[in-house]
Amino acid sequence: MNPRCPLCNSSHANVFYKAVTQYNDSEILQCKDCGHVYSIIKTEIDVNKLYSDQVYKVVENRNSIFDRIIQWEYNRVLRQMYKITPGRGNLLDFGCGKGKFGSLAQESGWRVKAVETAPDRAAYARDVYGLDVSSNFFTEGSIFNIRFNALTLFHVLEHLPQPGVLLEQLVKGNLTENGMVVVEVPNLSSWQSKIAKENWIHLDVPRHIHHFSPKRLRKLLLDINLNPIKISSFSFHLGVLGMVDSLLKKAGYKKNIIYELKNKKSKTLIFFIALVLPIAFIMEGMASLLGKGGVIRMYLTRN
């Protein structure tokens, strides 16, 4: 229900998208002062139901092709983290979801703890992957009474009312002096976003409050004294899938591809995905080389 920009508190904004097909009672605005793009919701919503619908429901997909793709991608992230700061230590996966990344980090030698407030996802991370998960809402201070050598936040900041405030407190109370932070969010400046426009799957209104460009995310992180060491924008499971969806949306597809793949898997949809996938893979690869891939992934250290 943002009456002002949630980052700079300005009340001056232009309409970025007048209507968003994912949620009728909403608009996407762009702040005139800082340039940030954010969602405005015009009606009251039940926050407790936001992450329990058919799109976000927990599905058992271990050993599936999708699971193997995610595993390959997360292992790439872990290798990159090791290149930046060799060695292992304590790692806090904030917003761990079902716990896949945390489990892989644990297997590679990290001592992992996690935070996840969605009950079904937290339970899965505990029961299936054996992670130590806190489900308390964080505001400040130390979560587990230890310091962490790495904090990871995959697709968390776009959901938070005040991401800069929370991340600053998270770093202050939980990160070691020489620790690393890894942040990933959808890329509003991506080719797939430009293709699908107001139908872009990663707008995900009303769950996503913020829609970051690399420039705006970098500014937010620099303001809390986090310095980007490496920035990348390629993601197979989110980037390529997002490009597939954007191309299908351009051709008139109107459904939610994630919901359809989780719950229906119609032969028609699989056919069209197979048809578009090679083109989507090439386009997303080219886009990523230019910093226009579907995600923004930043590896950061303290200034």
Q: Which CATH number fits the domain that encloses residue 109?
A: 3.40.50.150
pLDDT band at 65 (very low <50, low <70, confident <90, very high): confident
What pLDDT was estimated at residue 79?
96
Q: How many domains does the chain have?
A: 1
Whole-angstrom Cα distance, residue 11 to residue 31? 8
- 2 within domain boundaries: no
Q: Is the pLDDT of residue 186 over 70?
A: yes
The position carrying tokens 């505990």 is: 126
In terms of Cα–Cα distance, which of 196, 207, 287 is closest to 248? 196
The single-letter DSSP state of residue 140 is: S
Judged on CB neighbours under 10 Å (0-12, 13-18, 19+), 3 is exposed
Whole-angstrom Cα distance, residue 166 to residue 163? 5
Q: What beta strand segments (E) does the chain contain?
A: 13-17, 26-31, 37-41, 90-94, 111-115, 132-134, 148-154, 175-186, 210-211, 226-232, 295-302
- 162 within domain boundaries: yes
State if pTM tops 0.95: no
Whole-angstrom Cα distance, residue 284 to residue 280? 6
Q: Is the pLDDT of residue 202 over 70?
A: yes
- 1 within domain boundaries: no
- 103 within domain boundaries: yes
- 4 within domain boundaries: no
Is 34 in contact with 6 (CB distance < 8 Å)?
A: no
What pLDDT was estimated at residue 267?
85
For residue 83, give the amino acid letter: K
Whole-angstrom Cα distance, residue 145 to residue 60? 32
- 5 within domain boundaries: no
What pLDDT was estimated at residue 53?
66
- 3 within domain boundaries: no
Which domain covers residue 29, as residue numbers?
A: 13-302
pLDDT band at 55 (very low <50, low <70, confident <90, very high): low
- 280 within domain boundaries: yes
In terms of Cα–Cα distance, which of 149, 155, 148, 150 is closest to 183? 155
Residues 245-289: pLDDT tens digits? 999 999 998 887 877 777 667 888 889 889 999 999 999 999 999
What pLDDT was estimated at residue 145?
95
Is 13 in contact with 5 (CB distance < 8 Å)?
A: yes
Please, how many CA atoms are within 13 Å of residue 103, restricted to the half-sphere of its CB? 16
What pLDDT was estimated at residue 54?
59
